[in-house]
Amino acid sequence: MSGRLSFYRFSSPAAFYPLAGAIGKVSALIAVVLLAIGLYMSFFVAPTDYKQGEGYRIIFIHVPSAWMSMFIYLVMAFWAGIGLVFNTRLSSMMAQALAPTGAIMTFIALWTGAFWGKPMWGAWWVWDARLTSELILFFLYIGFIALQGSIDDTRRADRAGAVLLLVGVVNIPIIYFSVKWWNTLHQGATVSVTEGSSMSTIMLQAMLIMTFAFWAYSVAVAMYRVRSIILEREKDTRWVSELPEVRR
């Protein structure tokens, strides 16, 4: 019995591997269905905005991706904290599995923010408090991925990444607050990206569905990626060599 009690039945990679596959399939299905409904509502059900015309439809992917980019970072920090405290390698793998998806979500938020800013304020990049914080969050993701990538010993990579995430998660509110203070001081309250148009219920519903679709997508991708990470790390174990997918 290992010195430290591992009290999740699924904390061993061998037990979690098939479960991750199942969750991956289910959430992939949910993602596809919700995306279809969400897109349909975004384009055909939601009315044209009286002020921003059709351009505002970008909101249906900008806001969900922005929310997801923040949510994934918090989930990563949660798993990293668990991995550091309880020394369960699987939770560190989860954090590593979520990182690329989080970075992509942040990039999507920035990209769609710029493509929305151009028609609305005439500039591809607006130093709006939220967009700026999103940019800094993107640097935090890239920093985490770069740190994990440059350390060979997986154990050290996990724990170093965990410390960076925990330090990052403490700094996020400070960063957001300081950027907001800096933004309002220099430019006065510019129209921030989302408050522009009043949200009718249909628009809100469409956005919520899209958000759940993005959430399901992230879970699916993370589950499949964590399976690959488990395969890479447990390649010498007996249970991996007996997997049906491994061709003799």
Partner 1 sequence: MLEVVNLQCTRGDRCLFSGIGFTVGEGELLYLYGHNGSGKTTLMRTLCGLVAPTDGEVCWKDLPIRKQRDEYAAELLYLGHKNGLKDDLTGVENLLVACRLAGVSVKEDKAWSVLERMGLRGHEDLPARVLSQGQQKRVALARLLLSEAPLWVLDEPFVGLDVAAVALLEAVLAEHVARGGMVVLTTHQEVALTSGKVKKLRLGWKEDGCV
Partner 2 sequence: MKGGVSEFFAMGGYALYVWGSFGATALLMIAEPLLVRQRRKAALQRISRLVRIKSEQQS
Partner 3 sequence: MFSAFRIIVARDLLLAMRRRSDVLTTLFFFVIVVSLFPLGIGPELNTLRLIAPGVFWVAALLASMLALEKLFFVDYQDGSLEQMLLAPQPLSVLVLGKVLAHWLVTGLPLVLLSPLLGLQYDLSTATIAVMMFTLLIGTPALSLIGAIGAALTLGIRGGGVLVSLLVLPLYIPVLIFGAGAVEAEASGLGGAGHLSMLGAILLLSALAAPLATAAALRISAE
Segment interacting with partner 1 (CB under 8 A) among 92-100, 132-140, 152-160, 174-182: 152-160
In the chain, how many H helices and how many E strands?
A: 7, 0
| Residue 174 C-beta: closest distance to partner 2, Å | 29
Half-sphere exposure of 13 (CA within 13 A, CB side): 21
Q: Which two tokens stand for residue 50?
A: 């009286």
The string of DSSP codes covering 43-98 is IIISPPBTTTBGGGGGHHHHHHHHHHHHHHHHHHHHHHHHHHHH--HHHHHHHHHH
Q: How far is the CB of 51 from partner 2 (least distance, A)?
A: 12
Name the minimum Å distance from CB 225 to partner 3: 22
Instruction: Take residue 99 and report the two structure tokens written for it.
Output: 């990182």
8-state DSSP, 194: T
101 counts as binding partner 2 under rule CB under 8 A: yes
Contact pattern for partner 3 over residues 171 through 190, marking x by CB under 8 A:
x--xx-xxx-xx--x-----
Under the criterion CB under 8 A, does residue 111 sit at the interface with partner 2?
yes
Residues 57-86, one symbol each (x = binds partner 2 by CB under 8 A, - = not), give xx--xx--x---------------------
| Cβ proximity to partner 2, 78 vs 224, nearer residue | 224
Contact 208, 199 (CB under 8 A): no
Each residue 72-91 as x (binds partner 1 by CB under 8 A) or -, in order, gives ---------------x----
What is the three-class DSSP state of 104?
helix
Q: Is 4 helix (H, G, I), strand (E, B) or coil?
A: coil
Whole-angstrom distance, CA of residue 214 vs CA of residue 42: 14
Could you say which residues in the range 181-220 bind partner 2, by CB under 8 A?
217, 220
Q: Contact positions toward partner 1, by CB under 8 A? A: 2-3, 87, 152-155, 233, 235-236
Q: Contact positions toward partner 3, by CB under 8 A? A: 84, 136, 139-140, 142-143, 146-147, 150-151, 153, 155-156, 159-160, 163-164, 166-168, 170-171, 174-175, 177-179, 181-182, 185
